[in-house]
Structure 1
């Protein structure tokens, strides 16, 4: 007959190996930075040392979209940079970005501006085509940053 050996859940393992129970991790600090206007979202949410940014469109200071994917990509990255700065982060702190394109034929043009403006080493990135973006934008970029 086989002997039953209870398994220790992995999250208790460090404490179990040390002869005691694992201390719970402290709850991360969560800080919401409100979005401008009355959109039902936060501009960013910081959890511990990680900052999650809402998607950025290429809206200029007057709330208008410039013509073309390159101009919108440039402005979206500048808007991202401003949101990062509000929480004490920079483009160098980006770890993951998602680029949404209304037209995948704009991928190379977007990439030109992205390559020019993003610091190396580049953050991990996904790019996908979508059937439409808010305000009929050509591009939207959302990112995560960490200290």
Structure 2
């Protein structure tokens, strides 16, 4: 039944999304919600690479791991918040992003800020997920 599924759509009359996201995601009442802390680009040894692309790659790996720990997949992601301290190379980010999503994108917000929690962090991504 459609009421028991997470659904994503871009309403008629709305401009097409300017990136890989969906304007609205509906979560059914019986869903269990999961909210992650912002994931950053630490590697498996707890080291933060200096390069922005390396931080993006590690951040996506960390998101996969935190989802896996709760038996969640990209299908469960309902909202993504991205904060970055420098201009995002969207071709690179979307190539990494494609490891999580096919073309069924969640809602997304992106903000450029001057600094994150530690001076060397260049990107932080928070995930909201739901499981029906």
Q: Which one has the bigger helix percentage?
A: 1
SS in 2 for 1:117: coil
With over 3 angstroms needed to count, the CA separation of the structure-2 counterparts of 1:110 and 1:102, relative to structure 1, is farther
Asked whether the equivalents of residues 102 and 139 of structure 1 are also in contact (C-alpha less than 8 Å), the reply is: yes
Deviations 1:7-42 (CA, angstroms, capped at 9, x unpaired): xxxxxxxxxxxxxxxxxxxxxxxxxxxxxxxxxxxx
Asked whether the equivalents of residues 81 and 125 of structure 2 are also in contact (C-alpha less than 8 Å), the reply is: yes
1:142 corresponding residue in structure 2: 126
Q: Which has the higher contact order (CA 8 A, sep 6+)?
A: 2
Count of aligned pairs: 99
Which of these two proteins has the greater Rg computed from alpha carbons?
1
Aligned counterparts of 1:146 and 1:122: Cα–Cα separation in 2? 14
Alignment RMSD, CA only? 1.8
Q: TM-score, normalised by structure 2?
A: 0.66
Gaps of 5+ in 2: 1-30
Gaps of 5+ in 1: 1-47
Aligned counterparts of 2:70 and 2:44: Cα–Cα separation in 1? 20
